[in-house]
């Protein structure tokens, strides 16, 4: 298993961008479940090091550690705008904690139209969207790798209090919105 | 009176939540009834009301009026739908409040400790590009060529000091030789030990000049039977 872990590490290092478990499984000629468990132990083993494995759904990528941020930023010599507007912050939080989520649900939670804000987050690469598998007229929004990199976390589940958005309220929104969406599905962002 | 800065709210929920939290109330029917007047007051004050948001503000205003009415007239019978919309408003506010709390986490983390990927290699196709024509022999011959092209170690130029045949020497030589030998040919006299053609010529020329000089001084007599024939040199005495 150590060998598989090492090989995954080598491939991810070489690639320098996200790879899917599927791709890794094809190259390494291992089952996807073997790849997945090797990825998990690689992530654990890297947790104290200068390189981290970050994971988003079925994709993984190597990054520098958040602890080295001071020096890596220096090397990259880029300006990192860490300020988010109030509406960006709220919208981003909803997507981070409740992804994948449709724009109408974001609007519902915020009580305000978020089309502009969501578009802005998309342009900044902080979120990404997929076609809603249940309704191909709309999109679902999800955190991007870029967001994980910005937050210095290896998995969106690492966010404090993630998943404590209790199931009850989840169902509440789900029910209300499924009614509303039937009447008003104008998710055009 | 409690005053609200205008246009600082994102939407009706933001406004409601702010009103409730400023009064340190928790979200329930009672607190909503309490702040409903302020909410309506805010709407009235709002100039340049953002048109897209009107509906949202008004829907919530109507629910608030409903809540207020219910609190003033306990006997008021609400329909099931009306009860639902009150419950929904409470629930949405709680959701929104929760998101606001959670957004502090995002705010705290965002952009503080960045994790970089190897962006510089992003999109670069990985693969071995076969160097065609590369063989062991070609490598060897290239190395040789490189070695040959190294600058040569320059030898210091050797200065060859040319022996200058002086006329005087020749004159003396001829004088000496003609004293001991009564007669000699020019060919004999100008015969050189040198192999170099150029030097040989030089020697002949100098010898000829020396001969002429001695003729002039009246030391020797020269004779030539025909053109390009050997010149006979004789002592005049």
Residues 140-179 in A contacting B (C-alpha not used; CB under 8 Å):
145, 148-153, 159-161, 165, 169, 172-173, 176
**Residue A175 in domain:** yes
- Which residues of chain A are within 8 Å of residue B53 when distances are taken between CB atoms? 112-113
Residue numbers of the domain that contains A130: 86-183
Q: Are residues A25 and A103 in the same domain?
A: no
Q: Say whether residue B112 is in contact with chain A using an 8 A CB cutoff.
A: yes
Structure pTM?
0.60
Give B-chain residues touching A64 at CB under 8 angstroms. 114-116
A37 in contact with chain B, both atoms CB, cutoff 8 A? no
Same domain, A165 and A102: yes
Q: Are residues A148 and A93 in the same domain?
A: yes
Specify whether A107 is located in the same domain as A164. yes
Q: Are residues A27 and A106 in the same domain?
A: no
- Tens of pLDDT, residues B124-163: 565 666 667 777 887 888 888 888 888 777 777 777 666 6
Domains of chain B and CATH, by start? 12-109 (no CATH), 167-235 (1.10.10.580)
Query: Looking at the domain assignment, is residue A23 inside a domain?
Result: yes
Chain A residues whose beta carbon lies within 8 Å of the beta carbon of residue B98: 165, 169
> Residue A51: inside a domain, yes or no?
yes
Q: What CA–CA distances, in Å, run from B30 to A71, B2, B38, B61, B72?
A: 53, 18, 14, 15, 11
Identify whether A133 is part of a domain.
yes
Predicted confidence band at A186 (pLDDT cuts at 50, 70, 90)? very low
Residues A121 and A176 in one domain: yes
**Chain B hits for A171, Cβ within 8 Å:** none
Same domain, A91 and A176: yes
Taking residues A126-154, what's their average pLDDT? 91
Instruction: Confirm whether A75 is domain-assigned.
Output: no
Contacts of A117 in chain B (CB under 8 A): none
Phi and psi at residue A127, in whole multiples of 5°?
A: -135, 165
Quote the mean pLDDT of chain A. Answer: 85
* Cβ-based contacts under 8 A for chains A and B: 141
Give CA–CA dist B159/B155, Å, rounded: 12
In this complex, is the C-beta atom of B44 within 8 Å of any C-beta atom belonging to chain A?
no
- The total number of structural domains that make up chain A: 2
Whether pLDDT at B67 is above 50: yes
Measure in Å the smallest separation between the Cα of B126 and chain A Cα atoms.
8
Q: Is residue A159 part of a domain?
A: yes
Higher pLDDT pick, A53 / B203: A53
For residue A168, give the CATH number of its domain: 1.10.10.10
Is A177 found in the same domain as A92?
A: yes
Per the domain annotation, does A12 fall within a domain?
yes
Is residue A80 one of the residues assigned to a domain? Answer: no
**B126 reaches A (C-beta below 8 A):** yes
């Amino acid at each position: 298993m150590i060998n598989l872990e090492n090989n995954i590490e080598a491939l991810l290092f070489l690639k320098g961008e996200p790879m899917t478990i599927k791709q890794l499984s094809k190259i390494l000629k291992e089952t996807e479940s073997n790849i997945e468990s090797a990825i998990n132990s690689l992530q654990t083993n890297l947790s104290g090091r200068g390189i981290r494995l970050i994971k988003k759904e079925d994709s993984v990528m190597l990054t520098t550690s958040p602890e080295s941020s001071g020096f890596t930023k220096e090397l990259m010599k880029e300006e990192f705008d860490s300020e988010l507007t109030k509406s960006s912050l709220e919208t981003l939080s909803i997507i981070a904690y409740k992804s994948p989520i449709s724009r109408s649900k974001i609007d519902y939670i915020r009580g305000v139209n978020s089309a502009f804000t969501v578009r802005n987050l998309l342009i900044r690469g902080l979120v990404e969207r997929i076609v809603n598998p249940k309704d191909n007229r709309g999109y679902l929004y999800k955190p991007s790798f870029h967001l994980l990199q910005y937050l210095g976390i290896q998995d969106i589940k690492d966010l404090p209090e993630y998943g404590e958005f209790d199931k009850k309220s989840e169902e509440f929104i789900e029910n209300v919105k499924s009614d509303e969406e039937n009447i008003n599905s104008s998710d055009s962002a | 009176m409690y005053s609200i800065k205008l246009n600082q709210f994102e939407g009706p929920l933001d406004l409601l939540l702010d009103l409730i939290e400023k009064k340190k109330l928790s979200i329930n029917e009672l607190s909503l009834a309490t702040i409903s007047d302020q909410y309506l007051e805010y709407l009235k004050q709002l100039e340049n009301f953002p048109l897209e948001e009107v509906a949202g503000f008004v829907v919530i205003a109507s629910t608030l009026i409903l809540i207020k009415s219910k609190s003033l007239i306990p006997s008021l019978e609400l329909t099931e739908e009306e009860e639902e919309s009150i419950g929904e408003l409470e629930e949405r506010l709680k959701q929104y409040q929760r998101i606001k709390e959670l957004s502090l986490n995002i705010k705290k983390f965002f952009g503080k400790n960045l994790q970089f990927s190897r962006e510089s290699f992003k999109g670069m196709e990985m693969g071995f590009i076969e160097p065609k024509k590369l063989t062991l022999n070609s490598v060897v011959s290239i190395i040789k060529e490189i070695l040959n092209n190294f600058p040569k170690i320059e030898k210091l130029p050797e200065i060859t000091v040319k022996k200058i045949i002086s006329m005087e020497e020749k004159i003396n030589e001829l004088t000496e030789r003609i004293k001991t030998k009564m007669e000699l040919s020019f060919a004999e006299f100008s015969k050189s030990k040198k192999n170099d053609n150029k030097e040989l010529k030089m020697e002949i020329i100098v010898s000829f000049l020396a001969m002429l000089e001695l003729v002039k001084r009246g030391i020797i007599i020269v004779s030539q039977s025909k053109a390009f024939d050997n010149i006979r040199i004789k002592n005049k005495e």
